Amino acid sequence: MNRSPKPVPFALPGAVLFATVFVEGFSSLGAEIIALRRLVPHVGSSITVTAPTIGFFLLALALGYQAGGRVERGFLVRVRHNFLLAAAIVAVGLAGPVVDALFAHVRPALLAYLIFIGAVLCPIAWLLGQTVPLLTNLLRDERVGARSGEALYWSTLGSFLGSLSLSLLVMQWLGVYAAVLACALLLLALVPWLGDAPAARSWRDLPRIALVAAAAFGCNVVLPQQIETAYATYRTERVTVPDMNDPRVFWINNQVASMIDDSKPPRYTRYIERLRELLVAELGFREKRILVLGAGGFTLSHLEPDNDYLYVDIDPAVRELAEREFLGDKARGRFVVADARRFVTDTDEHFDAVVVDAYSALTSIPAHLVTQEFWQGTRRVLRPDGLMFANLIVDSRLATPYARNLIATIQSVYGPCAVEILFRDRPTSNVLVQCFAGPVPADVQPYTDERNRADVDILRSR
């Protein structure tokens, strides 16, 4: 009795196979990079955010490998379906307005984060992770291992080039929305080529492709978007503040970075006004060199012609955005694009004052800018009689471990510093720390009833 042979899947043309796995690698790692960038305005970019995010992504990818290896038939149909679904999730789930709405309406932020990871990032990784195991079933070669290795090569090469091109080119020059469109459209472009017969294209999915493409443009271009760069999200809006004349706020990563009103002269945020008062009015700075680490809205030097300001910020677009969207005028002072810690380590310049204004919120604290090594760098660039001012965002009672340890870290480098809490009626406040350059004082000796040397120390201090 003759038995009909089991149908053998056709060999996918090498060019299509390798293009497919290349796009899978490009888009999967691209989605991870975009997700990390989307999380910055909402939960920050600390290691406690990035490490779990990468971990969840890798776990979903591993589960995708396993799921793809268990499929027994309909390999191309599965890949085609996965690409189409992944493109839809990328197009909508990674769109700026959608992510902003999620974190705006779901509280606490940890819950919104878990929803974002579980409903957006992990499904993308799971769907695309199935690609290589599925397509290896279509390889026809005496040495299947050689072709499998080649497929993995193209997938990893796609991941490599995706990570570089999206972060260093697309996000830098066009914005995050363009990276979302690039990943989604590349996935959609491969769908028609994944036909069920040799050299055949599958056009049956054109209506769904068009629908996903329309959703991609709608969510990433048509819907109102914040101004995005590779480093931050920006917007300007009018607000109502007592005793201020129609103020406008410059938001960076959904945090108030600067404020200015229409008074003559203008009013600013309270900590900026206090810094200007300290530097210009109380310390009498004239023709001094002031280094500002963290540009914000460039308000410290606004309409202040008496001193030379140098702003350092990692985002090359922040000055143009602040001038166009916020100040409505040219920002005073020089501007250097650099990481703050790298700048104070490398520069040969010295300053009369250093203002550290790089902390926008408790969720946006650059961890490498709170260490002893960083504060030593700020001290290195000060002149012998210089001062360092740090604008911290901490609890107003200075009771949390972060507040206590951060101030202790600064004082371990500078010695005793002045600490000024600006908003005592709020749970979280701007806290200005003022420190002096020069030798660190000797260890203190507390006064006690048995050994009270206060009178002697007063005489020594005169």
pLDDT at 198: 47
Q: pLDDT tens digits for 142-173?
A: 566 676 788 888 999 999 999 999 998 999 88
Q: pLDDT tens digits for 339-365?
A: 999 999 999 999 999 999 988 766 667
| Residue 325 CB partners (closer than 8 Å, separation 6+) | 227, 234, 235, 236, 250
Contact 370, 348 (CB under 8 A): no
Give mean pLDDT, residues 9-22: 75
Q: Sorting pLDDT into bands at 50, 70 and 90, what band is 199?
A: very low
Cα–Cα nearest to 357, from 444, 274, 424, 244: 274
DSSP 8-state assignment for residue 45 = S
Token digits of residue 70: 């268990």
Q: pLDDT tens digits for 290-345?
A: 999 999 899 999 999 999 999 999 999 999 999 999 998 999 999 999 999 999 99
Alpha-carbon distances of 362 from 45, 158, 257, 322, rounded to whole Å: 11, 35, 13, 23
Q: Which amino acid would we find at residue 3?
A: R
> What is the Cα–Cα distance from 390 to 407, expressed in whole angstroms?
10
Kindly list the structural domains of the chain, giving each domain's residue range(s) and its CATH number in brackets, ordered by start: 14-228 (1.20.1250), 233-436 (3.40.50.150)
Model's pTM, two decimal places?
Answer: 0.84
What dihedral do alpha carbons 137, 143, 146, 151 form, nearest 10°? -20
Q: Considering the chain, what is the average pLDDT of its residues? A: 89
- pLDDT score of 135 more than 90: no
pLDDT at 333: 95
**Omega of the bond prior to 427 within 30 degrees of 0, cis?**
no
Token digits of residue 423: 């908003």
> What is the Cα–Cα distance from 26 to 49, expressed in whole angstroms?
23
Give mean pLDDT, residues 399-424: 93
> What is the Cα–Cα distance from 21 to 2, expressed in whole angstroms?
39
| Residue 115 CB partners (closer than 8 Å, separation 6+) | 102, 106
